[in-house]
């Protein structure tokens, strides 16, 4: 029988504008997650991380003075941490490691290391077709996906803005959120804010903050002896679809369709069984496409589906209950914090934003320009 695997610890680093180094924030996230699990660095024999240096797992292991038996430095953008959950679970099941920490942190706001134009790589083949247009990376690409969706299926910018409006409502319930205490916003506020890349305005775009998080995985058998309620990994799936948009025929059909289908099949459930949903919201369109692609509604239906408060506090599909990348925190690769919030919801530790009776959660990461997609299904016994 294959060993079952669970998340037994979850924590954030300091968030916002911290003035701290990446390794300091990483250290905070990891040690806090281990403390949450009732474990220490001496228990860790597996590390999965990225974003520190060329050899991120090596860097972190050296910093912590440990010699892990297993590491992963998969770089896939915001979906990397959901991918790492799958690889870590498989490593534990194979006996390569017993206790694995997955972590990420960034000081991008304090270091002022992010720019609107993003990262350009003129040496890659598709650059000859894209560089002449001086695209903003990644926002202009996601804007094209939004344009295609609205053209193909109809709908309005105001309907798409519901993603940001709902995220703010959740953030107002989360004292750690960057936009906590800033007040609610309306669809009009979103569509009339400064245009960045049509049709996406600044309020359609994620925050730029410092921050990070970590989760700790071990076998479910061992987890039952630890202090926190174990959150079992029920299923996972991933897809890698494109480097650029040059050869993508349909920007409205992301790889989340396949990754979600595989994750739900492994878990033996359907979207109707999910109590709380955490999806990457680098932009409002990212979240909208993910909700639809994961099967929570039909093709072309998401803008109508999310109307009338469905994804807000008290709604039928609680979405991004921390406030998401749009209103809570976005340190550059947000996928780790999707997992942290999903774990807290399933353990009943989310305070005023707690979804009552939540026993099944999905965390779905998106990386690059709708390039990488990874879905994790989590559950607890009630």
CB 173 within 8 A of CB 313: yes
CB 22 within 8 A of CB 50: no
In this predicted structure, what is the pLDDT of residue 246? 84
CA atoms within 13 A on the CB side of 160: 33
pLDDT > 90? residue 122: no
Mean pLDDT of the chain: 96
pLDDT digits over 226-249, tens only?
999 999 999 999 999 999 888 899
Rg (CA), the chain: 19
What is the average pLDDT across 164-170?
Answer: 98
CB atoms within 10 A of CB 194: 8
pLDDT > 80? residue 115: no
pLDDT digits over 32-66, tens only?
999 999 999 999 999 999 999 999 999 999 999 99
pLDDT digits over 63-102, tens only?
999 999 999 999 999 999 999 999 999 999 999 999 999 9
Higher pLDDT, 151 or 132: 151
Of the candidates 81, 141, 142, 280, the residue annotated as catalytic is 280
DSSP of 180-247? TTS----HHHHHHSPEEETTEEGGGB----BEEEEEEEEEHHHHTTSSSPPEEEEEEEEEE--SSSTT
Beta bridge partners of 102: 48, 215
In this predicted structure, what is the pLDDT of residue 1? 59
Question: What's the CA gap between 361 and 271, in Å, rounded?
Answer: 10
Question: What's the CA gap between 163 and 183, in Å, rounded?
Answer: 16
CB 238 within 8 A of CB 86: yes
Of the candidates 81, 142, 236, 328, the residue annotated as catalytic is 328
334 assigned to active site = no
In this predicted structure, what is the pLDDT of residue 340? 98
328 assigned to active site = yes
CA atoms within 13 A on the CB side of 362: 34
pLDDT > 90? residue 126: no
pLDDT > 70? residue 103: yes
Query: What's the pTM value of the predicted model, to 2 decimals?
Result: 0.97
CB 339 within 8 A of CB 10: yes
What is the average pLDDT across 97-114?
Answer: 96
pLDDT > 90? residue 214: yes
Domains of the chain in sequence order: 5-113+210-234 (3.40.47.10), 137-207+235-379 (3.40.47.10)
């Amino acid at each position: 029988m294959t060993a079952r695997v669970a998340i037994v610890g979850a924590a954030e680093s300091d968030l916002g504008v911290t003035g701290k180094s990446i390794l300091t924030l990483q250290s905070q996230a990891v040690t806090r997650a281990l403390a949450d699990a009732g474990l220490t660095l001496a228990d860790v024999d597996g590390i999965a991380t990225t974003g520190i240096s060329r050899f991120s797992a090596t860097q972190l292991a050296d910093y912590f003075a440990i010699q892990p038996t297993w590491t992963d430095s998969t770089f896939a953008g915001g979906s990397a941490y959901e991918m790492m959950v799958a690889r870590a679970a498989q490593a534990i099941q194979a006996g390569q490691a017993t206790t694995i920490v997955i972590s990420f942190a960034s000081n991008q706001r304090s270091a002022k290391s992010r720019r609107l134009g993003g990262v350009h790589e003129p040496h890659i083949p598709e650059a000859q077709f894209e560089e002449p247009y001086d695209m903003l990376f990644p926002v202009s690409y996601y804007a094209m996906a939004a344009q295609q969706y609205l053209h193909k299926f109809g709908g309005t910018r105001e309907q798409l803005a519901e993603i940001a409006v709902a995220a703010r409502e959740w953030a107002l319930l989360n004292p750690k959120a960057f936009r906590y205490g800033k007040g609610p916003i309306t669809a009009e506020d979103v569509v009339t804010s400064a245009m960045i890349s049509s049709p996406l305005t600044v309020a359609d775009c994620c925050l730029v903050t410092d921050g990070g998080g970590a989760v700790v995985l071990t076998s479910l058998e061992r987890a039952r002896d630890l202090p926190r309620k174990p959150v079992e990994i029920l299923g996972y799936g991933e897809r890698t679809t494109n480097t650029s948009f040059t050869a993508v025929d349909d920007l409205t059909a992301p790889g989340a369709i396949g990754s979600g289908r595989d994750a739900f099949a492994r878990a033996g459930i359907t979207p109707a069984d999910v109590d709380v949903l955490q999806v990457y919201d680098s932009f409002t369109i990212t979240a909208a496409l993910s909700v639809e692609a994961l099967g929570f509604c039909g093709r072309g239906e998401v803008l109508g589906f999310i109307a009338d408060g469905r994804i807000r506090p008290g709604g039928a599909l609680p979405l991004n209950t921390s406030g998401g990348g749009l209103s809570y925190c976005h340190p550059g690769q947000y996928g780790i914090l999707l997992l942290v919030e999903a774990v807290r919801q399933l353990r009943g530790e989310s305070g005023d934003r707690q979804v009552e009776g939540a026993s099944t959660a999905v965390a779905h990461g998106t990386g690059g320009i709708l390039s990488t997609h990874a879905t994790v299904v989590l559950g607890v016994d009630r």
